[in-house]
Structure 1
């Protein structure tokens, strides 16, 4: 069964990016990239082998596109990628598909593209919340950095209950995995 997984990094105060959509805070943190023998949790290498399709919002896609162009790099994802947007955007790869509307309208196509693997909710937080509200978010895999921003793009901009299932450390990051429970029922 296909799982929808929100794998991301966040600041201690719950932001994905600062108010200028910068991730500078992320790239200066100490972490194991998975190439060593430490077996640190939360590495991209451990995660990406489980993924058959990716989903992201337009702001995330535009951030990735801008940084790839600045570095002269190619599209980094080998799997199909669904970008939820109402804007006209340029596809960076043949595997990029632009879609609009609620996540549930695209569930069959996303799961068909993922095959027997999972779906990576790349970002952003509002799209992850939309997927959760559609019953299409199973877990949240967070690398929590020891930094605060005070403002910016929130990790998850709506009230939701999660249940901690795993906890570890990767360099400077606390790595936590949560099952998605649903809208709050107790408060």
Structure 2
């Protein structure tokens, strides 16, 4: 069965975006091979706010031409051809995605509210965090309040930039 991996960037104090949804605080590191990372996935799941951020990248959007699932009650599906908009029961939809045949995983791209919902549904298999050497003190949290989950460390790697790459499996 394919895995659902919540792969994200977070500040040391646990925020995935600043209070305005911005990402200007993220530290760049040329040693991170994003092409190899994206190649591990064939499906990308996210909430509407995260999709809005990706759409704003225009031609630079790395998800262009990829299978994208957006959980939203407000997004106009007709205005986003090639994107599957799931209006309700995203957990059921993600469970079906995981059951599909395939060797590549599903990237839970964000945000924190959707991640909490899918953790609570028992659907997230792995958490991968690029922990930035930055303190934001406020912003959008890695997980919305309510989600609790025990994790087992799989790997940790420090980069010269100060970024910590942390990988955890969900303990069931």
| Same-fold call, TM cutoff 0.5 | yes
- Using the alignment, how far apart are the partners of 1:18 and 1:173 within structure 2? 18
- Using the alignment, how far apart are the partners of 1:101 and 1:30 within structure 2? 36
User: Is the counterpart of residue 31 in structure 1 residue 21 in structure 2?
Assistant: no
Matched-pair contact (CA < 8 Å) for 1:17–1:23: yes
Matched-pair contact (CA < 8 Å) for 1:15–1:154: yes
**Residues 60-105 of structure 1, C-alpha deviations (whole Å, 9 max, x = no match):** 011112232xxxx264323211000000336676431100223332
User: Is the counterpart of residue 120 in structure 1 residue 107 in structure 2?
Assistant: yes
> Counterparts in 2 of 1:11-50, with a 5 A limit?
11-26=11-26, 29-34=27-32, 43-50=33-40
- Using the alignment, how far apart are the partners of 1:33 and 1:92 within structure 2? 36
State the TM-score, normalizing by the size of structure 1: 0.80
Partner of 1:174: 164
State the TM-score, normalizing by the size of structure 2: 0.86
> Counterparts in 2 of 1:3-14, with a 5 A limit?
3-14=3-14
- Using the alignment, how far apart are the partners of 1:133 and 1:122 within structure 2? 17
Q: What SS class does the counterpart of residue 56 from structure 2 fall into?
A: helix
- Using the alignment, how far apart are the partners of 2:51 and 2:130 within structure 1? 20
1:52 pairs with 18, 32, 42, which one? 42
Q: What SS class does the counterpart of residue 25 from structure 1 fall into?
A: coil
- Using the alignment, how far apart are the partners of 2:103 and 2:140 within structure 1? 32
Q: What SS class does the counterpart of residue 107 from structure 1 fall into?
A: helix
1:67 pairs with 57, 66, 72, which one? 57
> Counterparts in 2 of 1:86-105, with a 5 A limit?
86-89=73-76, 94-105=81-92
1:165 pairs with 154, 157, 160, which one? 154
Q: What SS class does the counterpart of residue 52 from structure 1 fall into?
A: strand
Gapped regions of structure 2 (runs ≥ 5): none
**Residues 123-182 of structure 1, C-alpha deviations (whole Å, 9 max, x = no match):** 001111111111210001110001111111000123322221100023320010011226
Gapped regions of structure 1 (runs ≥ 5): 35-42, 183-187
- Using the alignment, how far apart are the partners of 2:130 and 2:117 within structure 1? 21
Partner of 2:94: 107
